[in-house]
């Protein structure tokens, strides 16, 4: 299959601040990666740098063999990145359907398929973006990324602040998209346990540096590693 994403020595941040000093990462096609770490450690900055809305100081980003470093965010999106931003950022003055059609490209994911995946969205298709519940917004944000028919899906904290029942529904959708349909994906989460069952691999980010990388299944068996990097306290030193 080959590599879908290759990041070489990326140095990025916002304004003058460097959040990621020197980050390299590869992702095989069809694979999914859980990006873990406490907040403030640079996970979102990494995702935002892949889509191109941060300040890049150096390094390269290669998507499916094509160097996209010099491309604008909209060009990167069309080159095959589907982005689910951290705060969901549903377009509030567009209806549910318009949120999808405004960005849709031709491919196997279309509006109807998104509605099949999330019947709740179909029920609310004429509602405006700002009239949706948090869970519905998250479904729409995922659907909006899917109708771009991306090669790589970026999901930034897609479970944040959602009720457990919605979380389960979304996790089922992720499993279907990532496991069954083999769409390459990077999933950012603080809550490791929830998503390690979905992804193939996991990387832990601390202060902008990848400090641990392993297969998800392996990491699940090592709660002490997770505790060390993600929990409170100083477990990793003792």
Partner 1 sequence: MNALETIHLEKRFGGIVPTSDVNLVVREGARHALIGPNGAGKTTLINLLTGVLKPSKGRIKLGGEDITVLKPHQRVARGISRTFQINQVFGELSPLESIVFAIGEREHLGTRFWRGFGSDDAIVAEAVAIAKQFGLSDVLTAQTASLPYGKQRQLEIALAIAGKPRVLLLDEPAAGVPEAERHEILEIVAALPQDVTVLLIEHDMDIVFGFADRISVLVEGKLFVEGEPKEIENDPRVRAVYLGERADG
Partner 2 sequence: MLTILFDGIAYGMLLFVISCGLAVTLGLMNFVNLAHGAFAILGGYCAYALVNLYGVPFFASLPVAFLFAAMIGLLAERTLYVHFYNRSHLEQVLFTIGLVFMVSALVDYFMGSQQRFINLPPYLQGRFDFFGIGIGKYRLLIIFICALILLVLQLILGHTRFGSRLRAAVDDQRVARGLGINVNWVFALTFAVGCGLAGLGGALGAEILSLEPHFPLKFMIYFLIVVSVGGTSSITGPFLASILLGIGDVAGKYYAPRYGGFVIYTIMIVVLVLRPQGLFARGQSK
Q: Which residues bind partner 1 (CB under 8 A)?
A: 13-19, 21, 38-41, 157, 160-161, 189-194, 207, 226-227, 230-234
Among 68, 77, 167, 195, binds partner 2 (CB under 8 A): 77
Among 37, 85, 143, 208, binds partner 2 (CB under 8 A): 85
* Residue number with CB closer to partner 1 (73 or 197): 197
Q: Are 152 and 27 in contact (CB under 8 A)?
A: yes
Q: Is 110 in the site for partner 2 (CB under 8 A)?
A: no
How far apart (Å, rounded) are the C-alpha atoms in residues 54 and 101?
A: 26
Judged by CB under 8 A, the stretch of 30-38, 98-106, 192-200, 206-214 that binds partner 2 is 98-106
How far apart (Å, rounded) are the C-alpha atoms in residues 137 and 135?
A: 5
Binding characters for partner 2, 115-154, by CB under 8 A (x = yes): --------------x--------------xx--x------
Q: Is 98 in the site for partner 2 (CB under 8 A)?
A: yes
Tell the residue number behind the tokens 């390269």, with chain if given.
Answer: 60
Cα–Cα distances (Å) from 42 to 7, 83, 154, 205, in that order, read 15, 17, 15, 7
Strand order from edge to edge, sheet including 55-63? 17-28, 3-14, 55-63, 66-67
Cα–Cα distances (Å) from 163 to 90, 158, 232, in that order, read 19, 12, 24
Residues lying near partner 2 in the complex (CB under 8 A) are found at 51-53, 72-74, 76-78, 83, 85, 89, 91-94, 98-99, 101-103, 105, 129, 144-145, 148
């Amino acid at each position: 299959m080959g590599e879908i994403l290759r990041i070489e020595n990326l140095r990025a941040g916002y304004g003058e601040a460097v959040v990621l000093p020197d980050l390299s990462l590869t992702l095989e096609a069809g694979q999914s990666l859980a990006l873990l770490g406490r907040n403030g450690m640079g996970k979102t900055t990494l995702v935002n740098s892949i889509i191109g809305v941060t300040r890049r100081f150096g390094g390269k980003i290669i998507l499916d063999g094509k160097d996209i470093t010099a491309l604008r965010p909209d060009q990167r999106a069309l080159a095959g990145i589907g982005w689910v931003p951290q705060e969901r950022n549903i377009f509030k003055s567009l209806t549910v359907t318009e949120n999808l059609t405004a960005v849709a490209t031709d491919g196997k994911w279309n509006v109807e398929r998104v509605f099949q995946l999330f019947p709740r969205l179909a029920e609310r298709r004429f509602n405006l973006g700002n009239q949706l519940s948090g869970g519905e917004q998250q479904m729409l944000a995922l659907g909006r990324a899917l109708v771009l028919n991306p090669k790589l899906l970026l999901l930034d904290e897609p479970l944040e602040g959602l009720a457990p029942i919605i979380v389960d529904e979304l996790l089922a959708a992720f499993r279907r998209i990532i496991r069954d349909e083999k769409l390459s994906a990077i999933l950012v989460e603080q809550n490791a346990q929830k998503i390690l069952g979905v992804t193939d691999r996991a990387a832990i980010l601390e202060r902008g540096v990848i400090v641990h990388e392993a297969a998800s299944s392996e990491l699940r068996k090592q709660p002490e590693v997770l505790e060390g990097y993600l929990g409170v306290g100083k477990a990793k030193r003792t």
